[in-house]
A = this chain, B = another copy of it.
Amino acid sequence: MTSNSFGTYFRITTWGESHGPAIGVVIDGCPAGIPIDEANIQQALSKRAPGRNNHTSPRKESDQMQILSGVFEGKSTGAPISIMIPNKDASSSHYEPIKHLIRPGHANYTYLKKYGCFDYRGGGRASARETACRVAAAAIAEELLKAEGITSSAFLYRITGCNKKPFDLHTPHLWKTISGSPVFCPDSKTEENIIAAITKAKKTGDSLGGIVVFQATGLPVGLGDPVYHKLEAKLAQAMLSIPASKGFSIGDGFDAADMKGSEHNDALSENPDNPFLSNHAGGTLGGISSGQMLWGRVAFKPTSSIKQSQQTITTDGQSAEFKLPEGSRHDPCVAIRAVPVVKAMLSLTLADLVLANRLSTISKP
Contact = CB atoms under 8 A, between A and B. Distances in A.
B221 A230 contact: no
A208 B260 contact: yes
Interface in A209-260: 209-211, 221-222, 225-230, 232-241, 243, 245-254, 256-260
Contact of A241 (B227, B253, B266, B361): B227
Given A3-B228, A260-B207, A302-B260, A355 B362 contact: no
Interface residues of A, number: 161
Interface in A241-293: 241, 243, 245-254, 256-270, 272, 275, 277, 280-282, 284-291
Interface stretch (A53-61, A174-182, A186-194, A310-318): A310-318
A17 B227 CA distance: 12
14 contacts: A2-B11, A3-B229, A9-B359, A22-B82, A32-B114, A32-B360, A77-B115, A105-B261, A105-B264, A105-B266, A126-B227, A161-B258, A233-B238, A254-B299
A29 B207 CA distance: 35
Given A3-B29, A4-B227, 15 more contacts: A1-B29, A2-B8, A21-B66, A33-B362, A79-B124, A109-B285, A110-B289, A113-B222, A228-B237, A234-B237, A243-B286, A247-B250, A261-B304, A270-B319, A275-B317
Which residue of A108, A144, A277, A287 has the most chain B CB atoms within 10 A of its CB atom? A287
B302 A259 contact: yes
Interface in A8-22: 8-9, 11, 13-17, 20-22
Given A23-B69, A28-B5, A269-B313, A302 B261 contact: yes
Contact of A253 (B22, B69, B246, B281): B246
Given A266-B105, A269-B319, A287-B241, A259 B160 contact: yes
A81 B4 CA distance: 11
A153 B364 CA distance: 26
Contacts of A300: 256-257
A49 to B, nearest CB: 19
B106 A285 contact: yes
Which residue of A70, A268, A302 has the most chain B CB atoms within 10 A of its CB atom? A268
